A = this chain, B = another copy of it.
């Protein structure tokens, strides 16, 4: 947010500078003020509109990419991408934790289910997040699904 505002301000400054430049060069006429104001208003309206449109839309994050052939079947085959797993260096246990995370379980619940402590679950989770380049479990789930690591 702060970054956004900052960028916005900078852009605004540049635009004003640009407009002033144009102003001084080509529009040195009697009613240049109106033209100037109109231009500024127009440009900034457009920028504001564009910005508003842009900021209110979710952007893709994570390692997306990965075109991959779609299964295109009605059901849900789900073939685990073992190669990708190896590429990312994700161990079976880590993948298991990932799956339970995707199931909406808390770390404690996962720990209970796998008969380990919460600490262990957290360790696995942290490693998976790192390997998936995710910062939150929701993000990790999203990426993992996209990468076909979990159903």
Give the B-binding residues of A (Cβ under 8 A).
1, 4, 8, 12, 15-16, 19-20, 23, 33-34, 36-38, 40-58, 61-62, 70-76, 99-106, 111-115, 134-143
Supposing A61-B103, A75-B72 touch, asked if A37 and B40 sit within 8 A by C-beta, the answer is yes
Chain B residue contacts of A37, Cβ below 8 A:
16, 19-20, 36-37, 40
Quick one: copies of this chain in the complex?
2
- Asked if A102 and B138 sit within 8 Å, CB to CB, the answer is yes
Contact residues of A: prevailing secondary structure: helix
Interface pairs (17), CB distance under 8 Å: A1-B111, A4-B112, A19-B37, A20-B34, A20-B37, A23-B33, A33-B33, A37-B37, A37-B40, A48-B52, A53-B55, A53-B56, A56-B113, A61-B104, A101-B138, A102-B142, A103-B142
